[in-house]
Every structure is written in C-alpha cells, then in structure tokens.
C-alpha cells in the first residue's frame, strides 16, 4: 500500500524506525572494504545522535558483471526463489555481531598522527533538491565498482550530479519509491589530493592512464576544482573533453594515477596514487608507514575512504555532513579494524 508523503513524514515525526540495507556490487568484489567503511561511518553517526530513524539490517557483497542483478537485490533480498547473494567474507568478517563490536571499539580511538594532512578547500556541492528530506520504511544504499559504473543509463534514476552524463555512477539509493544516483570517485580523490598537500585549486596537474568510469569521474572533478588533466593513454583513453593539457607541455605531474598498470615508468610525478589496494603486511608501524601522508605513493585505501565519505555527503546523508568523520579519522579507524581482523585470523589459525 502506498503511503502519501504527508503520512510518511508523520511516521518519522512519531518515531518511526526504518530498515537500511547496504551492498557493494561489482566483480571481483570479495576483497572490498566498503562494507567495513559503511559500518564505521554509520555507527559513528549513531554515536553522535544522527540517523536515529534508521536501523541497519544487512550488509552484502554482490559479485556480478550485470547491473540488473545488483539492482535486483535492491528490490528484493535473498530468499529461496532468488539468486544466492554473496554474504560478507574474505577480509570482512561474516559475523555481524563481532564486526559491530570491533567497530564500536575502534571508534573510541584517536586518529594516527601520521594520517593527518591538509584540510580540503574544495567547495562542497550543495545538496540536490531532488534528494528526499526524510528516510523511508526500507532504505537501500549501494556502492558500485568495476565493471558496473558505466552501465546505469535508465530514465528510472534521478541523478543528483552529472554521474550519468559522464557514465560513471558508483553510488545508489533506493527509497522504496524511487532510485537516486551519484558519482563520488572524483570528489573523493580531489579531497585526498588536498589532504596530501596537492593544491588542486591552484592548477595542479593530474596524469591519468586509462579512461574507465573512475578515471572519468576523477578527471571531471579535478577540472571543476581548478586543476588540469593530462591523458597518458591506456587501453581506453580518457575523453578529450576531460583533458586540458598535453604531456609534452608538462615538466612534471603533481599526481599520477595508473588504472591500467601500463604507464611509462619514466614519466615524472611528485606523487602517485595506486587505485587498487592489497592486504597490508608487516608490523603495525610498517603498515602505518605505508598509509602515512609522508609516503609519496598514496595507497588506494585513501581513494576508497574519500569516495565513501562523499557518498554520505552527496547522497545518503547530506544533512549529517558536519557530523561525518574526517578523512584521516576514517582512515585511522579502517586501519585499526583491518589490523585487528588480521591479528584475529592469524591467532585462530595458530590455535
């Protein structure tokens, strides 16, 4: 039965509690840290008396190369008549209670000083008037990764930015009454660049090797923030409309991102961002150094953390923007959780 907007608003005012489901879809997906990031941000907001009308119900990883299968989970969750949606596994514990206990413990910690950096001066995007002002009975929030970001081209979706125009959608929200979508990779990387001392607004030069969905989003946001973009080639080159300089005219790049792994090693760049991330190894201090802002190679976790925060800021909870953790705080929490999970698994194997 459809409830009118006035009735839904009244239910919120009367203390109505909605259920929230979260998933990240793509292929490969088992390594994803996005569900862990989601848990950290959600419980951080709850701790600060935000999102009082939402209760998290499920976290899922959905392995698929077809956007329709991902959207299917948004409409109807797993039962005996539906595909076997992949539960959380790999580096993310499937025991939801154990995960929540770890998240709540990590949230009490201070951020690591080595993760601190410059505060972003990027102008935050105003809240879209298309986003509903309240939450509904069954909210579904999703992130998309490769190879799904270019597949969303349906008129059934309401974009809150130009993600559909540049074929790079990575954030979804289903309210039970409509779909909303956004692109957050680009804004996340711009924030990461500022955090690591790269002044994008003063014309910093970004070199991109590859032209997939993430590259398009990053190039678009970099240009909008006042920087310049150079195409370095790759299996799929970045669109000419998203390129503002030629490599021959550039002495040194401020930041290089190689999505294809085929970039000329002789290209000079002050910093390199590795878009992928792999399990960390070594001692606590050695792992912390890998993620430190003093490292000239920026680990892909920074990009993931940046775009995840932008998903909350742009689409899921723009009204809570001032209560979101900072980039370095969320990175500290993520690092703490990953390290504890790895230690726990190692101990279990030894017993």
Is 5-123+131-184+311-350 in CATH node 3.40.50.10860?
yes
Cβ contact 78:255 at 8 Å = no
d(CA 349, CA 12): 47
- Give pLDDT, residue 348: 67
Pairing of strands 179-182, 171-174: antiparallel
d(CA 305, CA 331): 7
Residue 129 or residue 338, greater confidence: 338
Q: Residue 270 — very low, low, confident or very high, per pLDDT cuts 50/70/90?
A: very high
Top-confidence range, 69-73, 121-125, 128-132, 168-172: 168-172
* β partners of residue 256: 207, 272
Tokens of 74: 């948004």
Tokens of 326: 């900072």
For residue 141, which of 50, 213, 37 has the smallest C-alpha distance?
A: 37
Phi-psi category of residue 15: left, alpha or beta, with phi > 0 → left and psi -120 to 50 → alpha: left
Q: Which helix (H) or strand (E) holds 203?
A: none
- Give pLDDT, residue 298: 98
Average pLDDT of span 316-329: 94
Q: What is the Cα 42 distance to its own chain's centre?
A: 14
d(CA 38, CA 32): 11
For residue 312, which of 40, 10, 17 has the smallest C-alpha distance?
A: 40
Residue 307 has pLDDT above 70, yes or no: yes
- Give pLDDT, residue 183: 95
Query: Considering the chain, what is the average pLDDT of its residues?
Result: 85
Q: Residue 76 — very low, low, confident or very high, per pLDDT cuts 50/70/90?
A: low
Residue 268 has pLDDT above 90, yes or no: yes
Classify the C-alpha dihedral 217-221-223-227 as positive or negative.
negative
- Give pLDDT, residue 81: 36
Q: Is 150 helix (H, G, I), strand (E, B) or coil?
A: coil
Longest CA–CA span in the chain (Å) reads 63
Q: Which helix (H) or strand (E) holds 70?
A: helix 67-75
Residue 133 has pLDDT above 90, yes or no: no
Q: Residue 169 — very low, low, confident or very high, per pLDDT cuts 50/70/90?
A: very high
- Give pLDDT, residue 77: 57
- Residue ranges of domains in the chain: 5-123+131-184+311-350, 187-307
Same fold, 5-123+131-184+311-350 and 187-307: yes
- Percent of residues, the chain, with pLDDT higher than 70: 85
- Give pLDDT, residue 12: 41
d(CA 340, CA 324): 23
- Give pLDDT, residue 87: 43
- Give pLDDT, residue 14: 39
Radius of gyration (C-alpha) of the chain in whole angstroms: 20
Alpha helices in 130-207 (DSSP H): 185-195
Average pLDDT of span 39-65: 89
Residue 11 or residue 108, greater confidence: 108
Q: Poorest-confidence range of 46-50, 61-65, 316-320?
A: 61-65
- Give pLDDT, residue 11: 44
- Give pLDDT, residue 82: 41
Residue 192 has pLDDT above 90, yes or no: yes
- Give pLDDT, residue 28: 86
Per CATH, the number for 187-307 is 3.40.50.720
Write down the pTM of the prediction: 0.88
Tokens of 241: 């409309």
Phi-psi category of residue 310: left, alpha or beta, with phi > 0 → left and psi -120 to 50 → alpha: alpha
Q: What residues have CB less than 8 Å from 225, skipping those under 6 apart?
A: 122, 190, 200, 201
- Give pLDDT, residue 186: 97
Residue 201 DSSP symbol: G
Cβ contact 257:209 at 8 Å = yes
Cβ contact 20:57 at 8 Å = yes
- Give pLDDT, residue 121: 66
- Give pLDDT, residue 62: 87
- Give pLDDT, residue 233: 93
Q: Residue 2 — very low, low, confident or very high, per pLDDT cuts 50/70/90?
A: very low
Average pLDDT of span 208-227: 96
- Give pLDDT, residue 135: 85
Average pLDDT of span 218-235: 96
- Give pLDDT, residue 42: 94
């Amino acid at each position: 039965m459809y409830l009118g907007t006035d009735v839904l608003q009244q239910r919120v005012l009367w203390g109505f509690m909605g259920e929230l489901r979260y998933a990240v879809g793509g292929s490969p997906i088992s390594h994803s840290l996005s569900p862990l990031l989601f848990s950290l941000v959600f419980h951080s907001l709850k701790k600060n008396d935000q999102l009082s009308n939402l209760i998290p119900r499920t976290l899922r990883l959905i392995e698929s190369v077809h956007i329709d299968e991902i959207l299917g989970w948004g409409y109807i969750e797993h039962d005996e008549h539906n595909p076997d949606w992949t539960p959380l596994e790999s580096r993310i514990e499937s025991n939801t209670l154990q995960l929540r206990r770890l998240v709540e413990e990590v949230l009490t910690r201070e951020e690591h000083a080595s993760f601190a950096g410059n505060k972003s001066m990027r102008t935050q995007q105003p809240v879209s008037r298309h986003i509903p002002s309240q939450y509904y009975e069954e909210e579904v929030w999703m992130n998309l990764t490769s190879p799904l970001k270019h597949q969303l081209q349906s008129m059934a979706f309401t974009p809150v930015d130009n993600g559909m125009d540049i074929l790079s959608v990575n954030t979804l929200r289903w309210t039970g009454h409509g779909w909303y979508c956004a692109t957050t990779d680009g804004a996340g990387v711009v924030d990461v660049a500022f955090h690591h001392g790269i002044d994008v607004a003063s014309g910093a030069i970004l070199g991109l090797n590859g032209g997939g969905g993430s590259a398009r989003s990053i190039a678009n946001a970099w240009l909008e923030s006042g920087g310049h973009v150079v195409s370095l080639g790759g299996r799929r080159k970045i669109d000419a409309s998203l390129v503002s300089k030629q490599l021959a005219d550039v002495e040194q790049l401020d930041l290089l991102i190689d999505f294809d792994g085929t970039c000329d090693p002789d290209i000079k760049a002050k910093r390199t961002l590795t878009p992928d991330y792999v399990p960390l190894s070594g001692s606590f201090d050695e792992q912390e150094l890998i993620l430190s802002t003093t490292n000239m190679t920026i680990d892909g976790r920074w990009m993931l953390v940046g775009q995840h925060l932008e998903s909350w800021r742009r689409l899921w909870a723009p009204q809570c923007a001032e209560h979101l953790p900072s980039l370095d705080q969320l990175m500290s929490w993520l690092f703490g959780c990953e390290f504890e999970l790895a230690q726990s698994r190692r101990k279990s194997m030894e017993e």
